[in-house]
């Protein structure tokens, strides 16, 4: 329980927000599209003369404004191979999905395709949240989209070849599908000869065996590249194991709230099937990891790139095994967050850092309760992590003296682009955050870094106030202490 001295009034922050108005003028193209879309029939008749470049803009406007007839009409003449509906786009609902699928139906039943139509794949949903609008997949053709990262990265395809592909994300919560997911699933089942419904992203939270069996009758396990499993027991995972075994292209696996049941003895370990191309493994709030980390990591058959363990308990034997798990020796990213390490000997973590020092680019040890004496044992290994670009030690209990020691080590890491440190213990009076002390101490702390390298982004952050949930941040850029929620 930590509180700040002056929790700002709620009104203050809202005042700040309103003063910063973002003005974004509509582009001429968008204005023209808005005008055109006032009459759907006119817009549809204008499609035949519409330049390729304007298709995504028009589609986006029609989508946001629910002009479903226009959406349907645009699909069979879409002049690009790819149509990506950004995750954050407004109006993503059953109505707009139905309109697009109606357009695909026209395309499928056409004996002769329009020579203009190049469409082979629609991406209805996936994890690239930063794409907000409509994307046609080629940044060369779409100057307006040049600033956005290309959504399709170098990922292997699932290999299923059909006339049309609809890539989407499937969420199965307690055995139920959402309205749009259910509709799309049934639509694709009825057109399985010409359409491949590609579930690159699958989430199963809470298990209903019958629905998993139904889904997997239709789903190609090879399509799944990102898998999230949540709120499951060991028995549930045993049931899913044969399905997991078939996921030969699985790149990212996230396990949340996997519970060890009371009937499960300590010796009874949870074994996952071998994964041959897994790159990223995340485990969140799962008590079965405790004492079982070694057995758990045995599923990795290829060196892992990213390991994230958050809100879990680890035993001493779990830490001890880290320097001996060869399948994690090439990690680029290690996150241990909200794991209580303060009662453990963390030397093995130091040995492990020495092992991964040549590849590790991102190291986050946040809210781990690491204390001065423990930090000391990590420092020599940390100095060897020469590739580090991001480090975060946020929310640990370091005194000013040890924080300075840490900074003398990270000052040597020339690749660092982003450093996040906890405010030293001297910035608290028992449980009260003293922001003025943070403001006073930080320039001296920053000097340690600037003496050795040109730091880019550095912040010192206090613990969250239990009352207002805000915290204080001092950063290199502003050289000021600010309050943030
Ligand atoms: Zn407060
Ligand atoms: Zn597929």
DSSP 127-150: S-TT--SEE-S-TTT-GGGTTSPP
Is it the case that residue 353 has pLDDT exceeding 80? yes
User: Distance from the CA of 470 to the center of ligand 1, in angstroms?
Assistant: 6
Cα 169 to ligand 2 centroid, rounded to whole Å: 11
Give the number of whichever ligand sits closest to the CA of residue 10: 1
SS3 29: helix
Q: Residue 12: what pLDDT?
A: 45
Q: Distances in Å between the alpha carbon of 112 and those of 50, 102, 109, 136, 195?
A: 21, 17, 9, 23, 17
Binned at pLDDT 50, 70 and 90, residue 6 comes out as low
pLDDT of 226: 93
Angle at Cα 484 formed by Cα 483 and Cα 485, nearest 5°?
135
Distance 462 CA to ligand 2 centre (A): 46
Q: Which ligand is nearest to the CA of 435?
A: 1
Residue 305: pLDDT band with limits 50, 70, 90: very high
List the chain domain ranges: 26-145, 162-303, 331-485
The ligand with the least distance to the CA atom of 160 is 2
Q: State the distance from the centre of ligand 1 to the C-alpha of 435, rounded, in angstroms.
A: 11
Distance CA 65, CA 25 (A): 18
The pLDDT value recorded for residue 41 is 86
Token couple for 280: 């990223």
Give yes or no for residue 264 having a pLDDT over 60: no
- Beta strands, E only, 320-470: 333-337, 362-366, 390-392, 418-422, 428-429, 432-433, 457-461
Q: Which ligand is nearest to the CA of 8?
A: 1
Query: Once rounded to an integer, what is the mean pLDDT over residues 261-272?
Result: 64
Ligand with the closest atom to the CA of 170: 2
Kindly tell me if the per-residue pLDDT of 270 is higher than 90.
no
Task: Give the pLDDT mean for 181-186.
Answer: 94
Residue 362 predicted with pLDDT over 90? yes
When comparing pLDDT for 5 and 252, which is higher?
A: 252
Q: What is the pLDDT of residue 146?
A: 28
pLDDT higher at 72 or 138: 72
394 Cα: distance to centroid of ligand 2 (angstroms): 40
Average of per-residue pLDDT across 405-411: 96
Q: How far is the CA of 6 from the centre of ligand 1 (A)?
A: 6
CA–centroid distance, 466 to ligand 1, in Å, is 7
CA of 467 to the centre of ligand 1 (A): 5
- Ligand (nearest to CA of 219): 2
Q: For position 127, what pLDDT does the model report?
A: 57
- Cα(347) to ligand 2 centroid in Å equals 44
CA–centroid distance, residue 191 to ligand 2 (Å):
15
Average the pLDDT over each of 54-58, 302-306, 307-311, 343-347 and give the range with the smallest value. 54-58
**H helices present in 310-412, as ranges:** 316-321, 347-356, 372-383, 400-410
Could you tell me which residue, 485 or 311, shows the higher pLDDT? 311
Whether 91 has a pLDDT exceeding 60, the answer reads: yes
CA 172–ligand 2 middle distance (angstroms): 18
What's the mean pLDDT in 330-341? 95
Ligand 1 centroid to residue 296 C-alpha, Å:
40
What pLDDT, on a 0 to 100 scale, did the predictor assign at position 197?
94
Q: How many A from CA of 395 to the centre of ligand 2?
A: 42
The ligand placed nearest to the CA atom of residue 485 is 1
Distance from the alpha carbon of residue 3 to the mean position of ligand 1, in angstroms: 5
Identify the pLDDT of residue 19: 37
449 CA from centroid of ligand 1 (Å) = 30
Task: For residue 461, report the distance from its CA to the centre of ligand 1, in Å.
Answer: 14
Neighbours of 434 (CB within 10 A): 17
Ligand nearest to the backbone CA of 121: 2
Q: How many helices (H) and strands (E) does the chain have?
A: 15, 19
**339 Cβ contact list (under 8 Å, min separation 6):** 309, 310, 311, 312, 313, 314, 367, 368
Rounded-to-integer distance, Cα 433 and Cα 462, Å: 7
Query: How confident is the prediction for the chain on average, in pLDDT?
Result: 86
Distance 99 CA to ligand 2 centre (A): 23
CA of 105 to the centre of ligand 2 (A): 20
Question: Which ligand is closest in space to the CA of residue 1?
Answer: 1
Ligand located closest to 223 CA: 2
pLDDT of residue 20: 38
With a pLDDT cut of 70, the percent of the chain lying above it is 88
pLDDT band, residue 130 (cuts 50/70/90):
low
Q: How many A from CA of 142 to the centre of ligand 2? A: 26
Please, which pLDDT band fits residue 166 given cuts at 50, 70 and 90?
A: very high
Do residues 302 and 277 lie in contact, with contact meaning Cβ atoms separated by under 8 Å? yes
Highest mean pLDDT pick, 34-38, 264-268, 416-420: 416-420
CA–CA distance, 295 with 87 (Å, rounded to integer): 37
Of 22-36, 292-306, 332-346, where does the model show the most confidence? Answer: 332-346
Is residue 110 over pLDDT 50? yes
Task: Using a pLDDT cut of 90, give the percent of the chain over it.
Answer: 59
Distance 294 CA to ligand 2 centre (A): 32
CA of 126 to the centre of ligand 2 (A): 13
Shortest CA distance to 279 belongs to which of 99, 156, 392?
A: 156
How many other CB atoms are found less than 10 A from the CB of residue 338? 15
Q: Which ligand is nearest to the CA of 157?
A: 2
Question: For residues 72 and 149, which has the higher predicted lDDT (pLDDT)?
Answer: 72
- Report the half-sphere exposure of 343 (CA within 13 A, side-chain side): 7
Point out the ligand nearest to the CA of residue 469.
1
Say how many Å lie between the CA of residue 165 and the centre of ligand 2: 8
Q: Per-residue pLDDT averaged across 388-407, rounded? A: 95
Whether the per-residue pLDDT at 54 is higher than 90: the answer is no
CA distance 3 to 110: 67
Shortest CA distance to 304 belongs to which of 286, 287, 288, 282? Answer: 282
**Can you read off the two tokens belonging to residue 95?**
């109505």
Q: What is the mean pLDDT of residues 107-124?
A: 89
Residue whose C-alpha is closest to residue 318's, from 172, 343, 389, 330: 343
CATH code matching the domain that covers 331-485, chosen among 3.80.10.10, 3.40.50.720, 3.10.129.10, 3.40.47.10: 3.80.10.10
Task: Tell me the CA–centroid distance for residue 232 and ligand 2, in Å.
Answer: 25
Of the listed ligands, the closest to the CA of 200 is: 2
Question: Which bound ligand lies closest to the C-alpha atom of 167?
Answer: 2
């Amino acid at each position: 329980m930590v509180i700040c001295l002056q929790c700002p009034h709620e009104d203050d922050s809202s005042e700040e927000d309103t003063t910063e108005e973002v003005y974004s003028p509509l582009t001429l193209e968008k204005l023209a599209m808005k005008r055109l879309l006032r009459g759907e029939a006119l817009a549809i008749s204008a499609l035949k003369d519409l330049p390729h470049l304007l298709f995504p803009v028009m589609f986006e406007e029609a989508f946001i404004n629910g002009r479903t007839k226009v959406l349907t009409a645009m699909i069979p003449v879409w002049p690009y191979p790819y149509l990506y509906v950004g995750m954050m786009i407004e109006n993503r609902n059953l109505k707009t999905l139905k309109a697009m699928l109606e357009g695909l139906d026209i395309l499928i039943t056409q004996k002769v395709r329009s020579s203009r139509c190049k469409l082979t794949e629609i991406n209805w949903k996936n994890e690239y949240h930063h794409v907000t609008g409509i994307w046609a997949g080629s940044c060369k053709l779409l100057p307006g989209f040049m600033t956005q990262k290309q959504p399709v990265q170098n990922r292997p395809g699932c290999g299923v070849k059909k006339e049309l592909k609809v890539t989407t994300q499937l969420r199965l919560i307690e055995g139920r599908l959402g309205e749009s997911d259910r509709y799309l699933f049934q639509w694709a089942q009825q057109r399985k000869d010409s359409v491949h419904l590609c579930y690159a992203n699958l989430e199963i939270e809470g298990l209903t065996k019958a629905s998993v069996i139904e889904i997997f009758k239709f789903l190609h396990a090879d399509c799944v590249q990102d898998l999230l499993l949540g709120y499951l027991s060991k028995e549930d995972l045993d049931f899913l194991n044969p399905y997991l075994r078939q996921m030969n292209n699985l790149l990212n696996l996230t396990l949340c709230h996997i519970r060890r049941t009371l009937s499960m003895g300590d010796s009874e370990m949870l074994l996952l099937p071998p994964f041959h191309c897994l790159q990223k493994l995340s485990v969140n709030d799962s008590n079965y990891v405790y004492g079982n980390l070694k057995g758990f990591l045995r599923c990795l058959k290829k060196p892992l790139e990213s390991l994230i363990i958050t809100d879990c308990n680890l035993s001493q034997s779990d830490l001890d095994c880290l320097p001996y798990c060869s399948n994690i020796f090439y990690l680029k990213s290690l996150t241990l967050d909200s794991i209580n390490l303060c009662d453990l000997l963390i030397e093995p973590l130091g040995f492990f850092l020495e092992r991964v020092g040549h590849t590790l680019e991102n190291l986050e040890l946040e809210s781990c309760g690491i204390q001065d004496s423990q930090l000391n044992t990590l420092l020599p290994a940390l100095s060897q992590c020469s590739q580090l670009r991001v480090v975060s030690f946020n929310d640990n209990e370091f005194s000013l003296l040890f924080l300075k020691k840490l900074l003398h080590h990270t000052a040597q890491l020339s690749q660092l682009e982003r450093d996040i440190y906890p405010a030293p213990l001297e910035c608290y009076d028992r449980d009260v955050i003293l922001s003025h002390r943070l403001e006073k101490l930080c320039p001296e702390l920053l000097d340690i870094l600037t003496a050795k390298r040109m730091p880019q982004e550095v912040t010192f952050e206090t613990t969250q106030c239990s009352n207002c949930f805000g915290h204080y941040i001092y950063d290199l850029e502003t050289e000021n202490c600010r309050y943030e929620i």
